[in-house]
Amino acid sequence: NAGVTQTPKFRVLKTGQSMTLLCAQDMNHEYMYWYRQDPGMGLRLIHYSVGEGTTAKGEVPDGYNVSRLKKQNFLLGLESAAPSQTSVYFCASSYSRARKFFGPGTRLTVL
């Protein structure tokens, strides 16, 4: 099992560009999440999904959109990237309300 995988691992964008981060899990988990981690901060929840076709906002959703068209995939989109979105993005999945399995992260820089 690959667990949780994220694509790409690194990306540099210019302000105003758009991109999509892909998260895939092979554990048949219902719940999937997108977090961001900034220096000196803990992980903050951007959006999450409780099942295929559902999404919901987390703590810091502004500037991001998500889609969960298939159970195993959770996409995070940035329509118009801003320097404040420079961060490390982690996807996670879980089968219970608590324990989560995290992907390796995507390091995004917005110039």
Residues of the shown chain interacting with other proteins in the complex, contacts defined by CB under 8 A: 4, 31, 33, 40-45, 48, 50, 56, 58, 90, 92, 94, 96-105
Smallest gap, in angstroms, from Cβ of residue 80 to other proteins? 27
> From the CB of 15, what's the least distance to other proteins, in Å?
26
Query: Is the CB of 28 or the CB of 96 nearer to other proteins?
Result: 96
Beta bridge partners of 10: 107
What is the sign of the dihedral through the CA atoms of 23, 13, 45 and 89?
positive
Closer by beta carbon to other proteins, 74 or else 90: 90
- Least Cα distance to 78 among 6, 15, 10 occurs for 15
Task: Please give the C-alpha separations between residue 94 and each of 13, 71, 83, 97, 108, in angstroms, as whole numbers.
Answer: 30, 12, 30, 7, 24
Smallest gap from residue 85 Cβ to other proteins (A): 19
- What is the closest distance, in whole angstroms, from the C-beta atom of residue 54 to other proteins in the complex? 9
Starting from the edge strand earliest in sequence, which strands make up the sheet with 4-7, in order?
Answer: 4-7, 19-25, 73-78, 65-67
